[in-house]
Chains A and B, each alone.
Chain A
Amino acid sequence: MLKQTEGSHAVAEAVALCRPEVICAYPISPQTHIVEALGEMVKGGDLARCEFINVESEFAAMSVAIGASAAGARTYTATASQGLLFMAEAVYNAAGLGLPIVMTDANRAIGAPINIWNDHSDALSMRDSGWIQLFAETNQEALDLHIIAFRLAEELSLPVMVCMDGFILTHAYERVDMPAQAQVDRYLPAYEPRQVLDPRDPVSIGAMVGPEAFSEVRYLAHAKQLQALDRIPVLAAEFAAIFGRESGGLVHPYRTEDAETIVVAMGSVMGTIKDVVDEMRAGGAAIGALGICSYRPAPLAAIRAAVEGAKRVVVVEKSLAVGLGGILATDVRMAMSGLHLHGYTVIAGLGGRPILKSSLHRLFERAGRDDLEHVTFLDLNWDVVNRVLDRERAVRRSGSIAENVLRDVGVTSTPGV
């Protein structure tokens, strides 16, 4: 059914349609609306046979999710930013134990400096945890990916993180097509665990593994991700057959045939990029875009197939590998190895800075002339940066960088949130 609703609410409804049995959550902006809505559904009796557990922290949220999932319950939680970092140890454990938990990450920057706005730093900090990580371009895809996530997680016995841009998607009202319960039931069978803690048939989960077997267990985690590479396109096709729309899959190519410049990105910025691609195509530029939906597993072959006919690849990412450059770009470079293409990394949208169409136009035009640095920080205020660097050269006690930058840009206090 078509409806106009908030992204968070759409996701909450989709999660409810997946018939979760345990939801454990700790509120942190910008995911709070999702678990609030689910809490209301459980309390109001709309979500039958589901226990909503208020926990005392994100670490507890993931720990409870691990216990619930190990006991055979379909389990969901959501987090963001510092919350994801706080649960990090348990995040690794959930994957290492092979428990099919589904978690929403409403993507948000990581401090310091404190910042509640959107970027992809939180999710990408967990890229090696063993979780499957899927990125949504729109609220429609965000809600669809949760349905796909439960199916994928339970088939493989691996946890899946659905990443959606905090605020930009979670707080956006837009049109979504909310599936019917019967469609979701057809797509997502009842959970049949591969391993389960059952007092009637006692087993242990979570053995200590020494050097004699640790590598094999870790390899099998890698092998699971490689299996996911095969299953994700199949599950996307099955999704399309039942729900009548394309969602999920490994990558989303957009006007890449005959493109000389291909822009690679993840998440909601793909929408803005597609608009810019259309405008530049209308002006005769041979440009296309590639959205990465499956960040982990990394779809190296699909990326390579999409870009190999191009002359250059511009990765626009909302993340920064400090001391290196791009995080997504590093994966894309790996997919391109041996191809003689120009590769550019663009760090954009950090901490909620809007990624403007006008800026992207200028950026892609420069890329088309191969007039870009290898790493570009989009719309960086160089005056302010240089002022801080000058000050640090001149004075030993130059003060806190964040406070200095705020003073230089003319902001005196951070708004309370």
Chain B
Amino acid sequence: MFQVRIHGRGGQGVVTGAEMLSIAAFLGGRHAQAVPSFGSERTGAPVVAFCRIDDKEIRLREPVMAPDALLIQDPTLLHQVDVFQGLRPDGYILINTNRSFEELGLGEFVAGFRAERLATVPATELALKHVGRPVPNVPLLGGFAAISGLISLDAVIAAIGEKFAGKVADGNIAAATAAYEMVRGATREVTHA
């Protein structure tokens, strides 16, 4: 079972992001379970959502304690919440930022992780450019498809089609595709370095 934890703030589409990830995994033939961590629904408050992906029925109902992947929608959370809690040593980290892990002060922390499983992507900028709103959730899913290969970009695009329509869907598809390309380019550099 592969477990993803998404950290963000109220208004950034954290819960929708987890739901769409589960839809993309489902479309890829997998079992998936997405649940929000319930409670605070205030704009700007820290929000967590979970997604589990497996080849068989998922029965477990506890929060994700030891994630295989972290999607961090808001880098300001790094100073507020222990977002890395329980992360497996071979885990994936994808952060919405235009800075690098070193610039975020995480260089030392991530030194023990596998470099090709770490990526940053300016998801908010991509969302502003393509969707016109600062909602980083969908471009991050594009980035996650690139970094993990667990879901395909096509599945992310199909999941977008299930949640959004018209211009919003088109914008999100463009943003997710751009993020996918950026992360794929960056991880290729790492693997060939």
Contacts and interface: CB of A to CB of B under 8 A. Distances in A.
Interface string B64-90: 010000000000000000000000000
Max chain A Cβ within 10 angstroms of own Cβ: one of B31, B42, B59: B59
Contacts of B26: 3-4, 175
Given A172-B35, A357-B60, A415-B40, 6 more contacts: A174-B22, A174-B58, A269-B61, A272-B62, A275-B60, A416-B40
Interface in B37-53: 38-42, 45
Contact of A275 (B39, B40, B59): B59
B36 to A, nearest CB: 6
A416 B43 CA distance: 11
A152 interface: no
Given A269-B61, A275-B59, A356-B65, A117 B38 contact: yes
Contacts of A116: 38-39
B118 interface: no
A174 B38 contact: no
Most central of A4, A269, A416 by chain B CB within 10 Å: A4
A165 to B, nearest CB: 8
A274 B59 CA distance: 8
Interface string A259-278: 00000000011111011000
Given A275-B59, A415-B42, A6 B19 contact: yes
Contacts of A174: 22, 31-34, 58
A355 interface: yes
A136 to B, nearest CB: 12
A358 to B, nearest CB: 8
Nearest to B23: A4
A175 B61 contact: no
Given A415-B42, A415-B45, A4 B32 contact: yes
A352 interface: yes
A415 B48 CA distance: 14
B60 A272 contact: yes
A168 interface: yes
A59 interface: no
A174 to B, nearest CB: 5
Interface of B: 18-19, 22-23, 26-27, 31-36, 38-42, 45, 57-63, 65
A268 B38 CA distance: 16
Nearest to B59: A271
Interface string A383-417: 00000000000000000000000000000000111
A171 interface: yes
Contacts of A6: 19
A355 B18 CA distance: 21
A30 B27 CA distance: 27
A273 B120 CA distance: 38
Contacts of B19: 6, 173
Contacts of B36: 167, 171
Contacts of A416: 40-42
Contacts of B60: 271-272, 275, 357
A189 interface: no
Contacts of A270: 59
A268 B61 CA distance: 7
Nearest to B35: A172
B39 A415 contact: yes
Contacts of A173: 18-19, 22-23, 32-35
- Central interface residue in A30, A167, A268, by most chain B CB within 10 Å: A167
A354 interface: yes
Contact of B38 (A167, A272, A358): A167
23 contacts: A4-B22, A30-B38, A116-B38, A138-B59, A168-B35, A168-B61, A171-B36, A172-B34, A173-B19, A173-B35, A174-B22, A174-B31, A174-B58, A175-B57, A271-B60, A271-B61, A272-B60, A272-B62, A352-B39, A356-B62, A357-B62, A415-B42, A417-B39
Contacts of B33: 172-174
Contacts of B45: 415
Contacts of B63: 354
A417 B41 contact: yes
Contact of A117 (B18, B39, B57, B61): B39
Nearest to A174: B33
B17 to A, nearest CB: 11
A143 to B, nearest CB: 15
A417 B40 contact: yes
B31 A175 contact: yes
Contacts of A175: 26, 31-32, 57
Interface in A323-379: 352, 354-358
Contacts of A172: 33-35
B154 to A, nearest CB: 16
Nearest to A269: B61
A100 to B, nearest CB: 31
Contacts of B38: 30, 116-117, 167, 171, 352
Contacts of A358: 65
A353 to B, nearest CB: 11
Interface in A1-41: 3-4, 6, 30
